[in-house]
Protein backbone atom coordinates (compact mmCIF):
# COMPACT_ATOMS: atom_id res chain seq x y z
CA UNK A 1 0.00 0.00 0.00
CA UNK A 2 1.27 3.45 -0.87
CA UNK A 3 1.98 5.76 2.02
CA UNK A 4 -0.97 8.08 2.42
CA UNK A 5 -0.48 11.72 3.26
CA UNK A 6 -2.08 12.23 6.65
CA UNK A 7 -1.74 15.99 6.94
CA UNK A 8 -4.57 17.33 9.12
CA UNK A 9 -6.76 19.90 7.37
CA UNK A 10 -6.03 23.40 8.62
CA UNK A 11 -8.77 25.09 10.60
CA UNK A 12 -9.78 28.23 8.77
CA UNK A 13 -11.97 31.06 10.01
CA UNK A 14 -15.59 30.72 8.90
CA UNK A 15 -16.90 33.43 6.58
CA UNK A 16 -20.07 35.23 7.59
CA UNK A 17 -23.49 34.52 6.09
CA UNK A 18 -23.24 37.83 4.19
CA UNK A 19 -19.89 36.82 2.69
CA UNK A 20 -21.25 33.44 1.54
CA UNK A 21 -24.29 35.07 -0.05
CA UNK A 22 -22.04 37.57 -1.84
CA UNK A 23 -19.93 34.67 -3.16
CA UNK A 24 -23.07 33.08 -4.62
CA UNK A 25 -24.02 36.39 -6.26
CA UNK A 26 -20.51 36.55 -7.75
CA UNK A 27 -20.95 33.06 -9.23
CA UNK A 28 -24.33 34.03 -10.68
CA UNK A 29 -22.87 37.17 -12.29
CA UNK A 30 -19.97 35.13 -13.59
CA UNK A 31 -22.37 32.64 -15.20
CA UNK A 32 -24.04 35.57 -16.99
CA UNK A 33 -26.96 36.16 -14.65
CA UNK A 34 -28.48 39.17 -12.97
CA UNK A 35 -28.65 38.21 -9.28
CA UNK A 36 -31.13 41.01 -8.52
CA UNK A 37 -33.89 39.66 -10.74
CA UNK A 38 -36.91 38.29 -8.92
CA UNK A 39 -36.22 34.57 -9.37
CA UNK A 40 -32.67 34.87 -8.06
CA UNK A 41 -33.09 37.39 -5.29
CA UNK A 42 -33.43 34.77 -2.52
CA UNK A 43 -31.09 32.26 -4.14
CA UNK A 44 -27.91 33.17 -2.22
CA UNK A 45 -29.71 32.58 1.10
CA UNK A 46 -31.15 29.30 -0.12
CA UNK A 47 -27.80 28.10 -1.40
CA UNK A 48 -26.21 28.87 1.97
CA UNK A 49 -28.96 26.97 3.82
CA UNK A 50 -28.77 24.04 1.47
CA UNK A 51 -24.96 23.88 1.70
CA UNK A 52 -25.23 23.97 5.49
CA UNK A 53 -27.26 20.76 5.18
CA UNK A 54 -25.14 19.14 2.47
CA UNK A 55 -21.90 19.80 4.35
CA UNK A 56 -23.23 19.00 7.81
CA UNK A 57 -20.46 16.42 8.14
CA UNK A 58 -18.08 19.13 9.30
CA UNK A 59 -20.26 19.64 12.38
CA UNK A 60 -20.19 16.02 13.56
CA UNK A 61 -17.65 13.57 14.93
CA UNK A 62 -18.60 10.21 13.37
CA UNK A 63 -16.63 8.39 16.07
CA UNK A 64 -19.19 9.51 18.66
CA UNK A 65 -21.94 7.51 16.91
CA UNK A 66 -20.16 4.26 17.76
CA UNK A 67 -19.71 4.85 21.47
CA UNK A 68 -22.93 3.09 22.57
CA UNK A 69 -22.49 -0.66 22.20
CA UNK A 70 -24.53 -3.74 23.04
CA UNK A 71 -22.77 -6.73 24.56
CA UNK A 72 -25.71 -9.12 25.01
CA UNK A 73 -25.49 -10.72 21.60
CA UNK A 74 -26.21 -14.35 22.51
CA UNK A 75 -22.90 -15.50 21.15
CA UNK A 76 -23.51 -13.99 17.69
CA UNK A 77 -20.14 -13.88 15.96
CA UNK A 78 -20.83 -13.77 12.22
CA UNK A 79 -20.57 -10.91 9.75
CA UNK A 80 -22.98 -8.02 10.14
CA UNK A 81 -23.53 -6.24 6.82
CA UNK A 82 -25.66 -3.16 6.15
CA UNK A 83 -26.23 -2.79 2.44
CA UNK A 84 -27.45 0.04 0.23
CA UNK A 85 -26.77 2.99 2.49
CA UNK A 86 -27.47 5.96 0.23
CA UNK A 87 -24.37 8.07 -0.27
CA UNK A 88 -24.63 11.75 -1.14
CA UNK A 89 -21.22 13.35 -1.13
CA UNK A 90 -19.30 16.03 -3.00
CA UNK A 91 -16.25 15.65 -5.15
CA UNK A 92 -13.56 17.92 -3.75
CA UNK A 93 -12.15 18.61 -7.21
CA UNK A 94 -15.29 20.02 -8.83
CA UNK A 95 -17.71 20.48 -5.90
CA UNK A 96 -20.18 18.30 -7.78
CA UNK A 97 -22.26 15.45 -6.31
CA UNK A 98 -21.07 11.92 -5.78
CA UNK A 99 -24.15 9.70 -5.44
CA UNK A 100 -24.40 6.00 -4.87
CA UNK A 101 -24.50 3.29 -2.25
CA UNK A 102 -22.28 2.13 0.57
CA UNK A 103 -22.21 -1.40 1.95
CA UNK A 104 -20.70 -1.58 5.41
CA UNK A 105 -19.89 -4.74 7.33
CA UNK A 106 -17.95 -5.89 10.34
CA UNK A 107 -17.08 -9.08 12.15
CA UNK A 108 -17.93 -8.35 15.80
CA UNK A 109 -15.80 -9.21 18.78
CA UNK A 110 -18.51 -9.73 21.45
CA UNK A 111 -20.14 -6.31 21.02
CA UNK A 112 -22.25 -4.67 18.38
CA UNK A 113 -23.58 -1.19 17.60
CA UNK A 114 -27.09 -0.08 16.74
CA UNK A 115 -27.33 -0.65 13.00
CA UNK A 116 -28.45 2.91 12.22
CA UNK A 117 -25.08 4.09 13.48
CA UNK A 118 -23.37 2.48 10.48
CA UNK A 119 -25.41 4.73 8.21
CA UNK A 120 -24.73 7.72 10.47
CA UNK A 121 -20.98 7.16 10.13
CA UNK A 122 -21.34 7.00 6.33
CA UNK A 123 -23.33 10.25 6.22
CA UNK A 124 -20.96 11.98 8.65
CA UNK A 125 -18.03 11.49 6.29
CA UNK A 126 -20.04 11.76 3.06
CA UNK A 127 -21.40 15.22 3.87
CA UNK A 128 -18.02 16.79 3.31
CA UNK A 129 -15.85 17.44 0.25
CA UNK A 130 -14.40 14.07 -0.60
CA UNK A 131 -12.80 11.72 -3.00
CA UNK A 132 -14.41 8.30 -2.97
CA UNK A 133 -11.26 6.42 -1.94
CA UNK A 134 -10.80 8.59 1.14
CA UNK A 135 -14.49 8.38 2.06
CA UNK A 136 -14.31 4.57 1.87
CA UNK A 137 -11.18 4.37 4.01
CA UNK A 138 -12.39 6.87 6.63
CA UNK A 139 -15.58 4.91 7.25
CA UNK A 140 -13.67 1.64 7.59
CA UNK A 141 -10.94 3.02 9.88
CA UNK A 142 -13.43 4.73 12.17
CA UNK A 143 -15.45 1.56 12.72
CA UNK A 144 -12.30 -0.49 13.22
CA UNK A 145 -10.76 1.92 15.73
CA UNK A 146 -13.82 2.74 17.82
CA UNK A 147 -15.75 -0.56 17.84
CA UNK A 148 -12.63 -2.79 17.79
CA UNK A 149 -14.24 -5.60 15.78
CA UNK A 150 -12.22 -8.46 14.29
CA UNK A 151 -12.61 -6.98 10.84
CA UNK A 152 -14.34 -4.29 8.78
CA UNK A 153 -15.33 -4.01 5.14
CA UNK A 154 -16.65 -1.01 3.25
CA UNK A 155 -17.68 -1.02 -0.40
CA UNK A 156 -18.93 2.07 -2.20
CA UNK A 157 -20.40 2.20 -5.68
CA UNK A 158 -21.08 5.70 -6.89
CA UNK A 159 -21.55 8.04 -9.81
CA UNK A 160 -19.56 11.23 -10.04
CA UNK A 161 -21.48 14.10 -11.55
CA UNK A 162 -18.16 15.56 -12.69
CA UNK A 163 -17.88 12.52 -15.00
CA UNK A 164 -21.53 11.92 -15.85
CA UNK A 165 -22.71 15.45 -16.71
CA UNK A 166 -19.57 17.23 -17.92
CA UNK A 167 -15.95 16.63 -18.83
CA UNK A 168 -15.59 13.11 -20.14
CA UNK A 169 -19.42 12.81 -20.25
CA UNK A 170 -19.74 9.13 -19.32
CA UNK A 171 -23.27 8.97 -17.95
CA UNK A 172 -23.31 5.27 -17.02
CA UNK A 173 -19.89 5.12 -15.38
CA UNK A 174 -19.82 4.10 -11.73
CA UNK A 175 -16.79 3.81 -9.48
CA UNK A 176 -16.40 0.90 -7.08
CA UNK A 177 -14.06 1.20 -4.13
CA UNK A 178 -13.49 -1.12 -1.21
CA UNK A 179 -11.52 -0.92 1.99
CA UNK A 180 -11.09 -4.12 3.99
CA UNK A 181 -9.39 -4.39 7.37
CA UNK A 182 -8.49 -7.25 9.74
CA UNK A 183 -10.23 -10.59 9.24
CA UNK A 184 -12.39 -9.20 6.44
CA UNK A 185 -9.19 -8.55 4.51
CA UNK A 186 -6.98 -11.43 5.67
CA UNK A 187 -9.27 -14.41 6.31
CA UNK A 188 -10.11 -15.76 2.83
CA UNK A 189 -13.48 -17.20 3.87
CA UNK A 190 -14.65 -14.01 5.60
CA UNK A 191 -13.37 -11.85 2.77
CA UNK A 192 -15.14 -13.96 0.18
CA UNK A 193 -18.37 -13.89 2.18
CA UNK A 194 -18.26 -10.11 2.63
CA UNK A 195 -17.53 -9.46 -1.03
CA UNK A 196 -20.25 -11.88 -2.12
CA UNK A 197 -22.73 -10.02 0.11
CA UNK A 198 -21.79 -6.65 -1.36
CA UNK A 199 -20.07 -6.65 -4.76
CA UNK A 200 -22.78 -8.63 -6.58
CA UNK A 201 -25.36 -6.12 -5.48
CA UNK A 202 -26.44 -3.98 -8.40
CA UNK A 203 -28.40 -0.81 -8.65
N1 LIG B 1 -9.44 9.36 -7.53
C2 LIG B 1 -10.55 10.09 -7.61
N3 LIG B 1 -10.66 11.00 -8.59
C4 LIG B 1 -11.81 11.71 -8.65
C5 LIG B 1 -12.85 11.54 -7.76
N6 LIG B 1 -13.85 12.38 -8.11
C7 LIG B 1 -13.41 13.05 -9.19
N8 LIG B 1 -12.17 12.65 -9.54
C9 LIG B 1 -11.29 13.03 -10.65
O10 LIG B 1 -10.48 14.10 -10.29
C11 LIG B 1 -9.78 14.48 -11.49
C12 LIG B 1 -9.41 15.94 -11.47
O13 LIG B 1 -8.61 16.07 -12.60
P14 LIG B 1 -8.27 17.42 -13.38
O15 LIG B 1 -7.63 17.03 -14.66
O16 LIG B 1 -7.54 18.32 -12.45
O17 LIG B 1 -9.72 18.07 -13.60
P18 LIG B 1 -10.50 18.33 -14.98
O19 LIG B 1 -9.63 19.07 -15.92
O20 LIG B 1 -11.82 18.94 -14.63
O21 LIG B 1 -10.68 16.83 -15.50
P22 LIG B 1 -11.88 16.15 -16.30
O23 LIG B 1 -12.91 15.76 -15.29
O24 LIG B 1 -11.26 14.95 -16.97
O25 LIG B 1 -12.43 17.15 -17.28
C26 LIG B 1 -10.70 14.06 -12.63
O27 LIG B 1 -10.05 13.03 -13.33
C28 LIG B 1 -11.94 13.51 -11.91
O29 LIG B 1 -12.56 12.47 -12.64
C30 LIG B 1 -12.70 10.57 -6.72
O31 LIG B 1 -13.56 10.35 -5.87
N32 LIG B 1 -11.53 9.87 -6.70
ZN1 LIG C 1 -14.97 15.78 -9.68
Mean pLDDT of all residues in 2-7: 58
For the Cβ of 156 lying below 6 angstroms from any atom of ligand 1, the answer is: no
| CATH for the 62-198 domain, from 3.30.1130.10, 3.10.450.50, 3.40.50.2000, 3.10.20.30 | 3.30.1130.10
3-state secondary structure of 131: coil
pLDDT of residue 1: 47
Check if the beta carbon of residue 185 is closer than 8 Å to that of residue 145: no
ipTM for the predicted complex comes to 0.89
Map out the domains of the chain as residue ranges.
17-54, 62-198
Q: Give the pLDDT score at 20.
A: 97
Prediction pTM value: 0.91
103 is in an annotated binding site: no
Mean pLDDT value of segment 187-201: 89
Q: Which atom of ligand 1 is nearest to the CA of 130?
A: 31
Is the CB–ligand 1 distance for residue 170 below 6 Å? no
Ligand 1 centroid to Cα of residue 160, in Å, is: 9
The alpha carbon of 179 is separated from its chain's Cα centroid by a whole number of angstroms, namely 13
Q: For the packed helices 132-147 and 116-126, what is the interaxial angle rounded to 10 degrees?
A: 140
141: annotated binding-site residue? no
For 74-112, the pLDDT digits (tens) are 999 999 999 999 999 999 999 999 999 999 999 999 899
Q: What's the pLDDT at 11?
A: 78
Using the 8-state DSSP alphabet, how is residue 12 labeled?
-
Per-residue confidence (pLDDT) for residue 156, from 0 to 100: 98
Which listed ligand is nearest to 176 at the C-alpha?
Answer: 1
Amino acid sequence: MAKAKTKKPQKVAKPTQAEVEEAVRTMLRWAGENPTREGLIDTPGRVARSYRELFAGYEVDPRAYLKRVFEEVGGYDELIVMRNIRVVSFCEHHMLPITGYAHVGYLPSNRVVGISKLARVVHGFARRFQIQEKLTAEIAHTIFEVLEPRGVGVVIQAEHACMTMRGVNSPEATLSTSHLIGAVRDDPKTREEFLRMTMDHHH
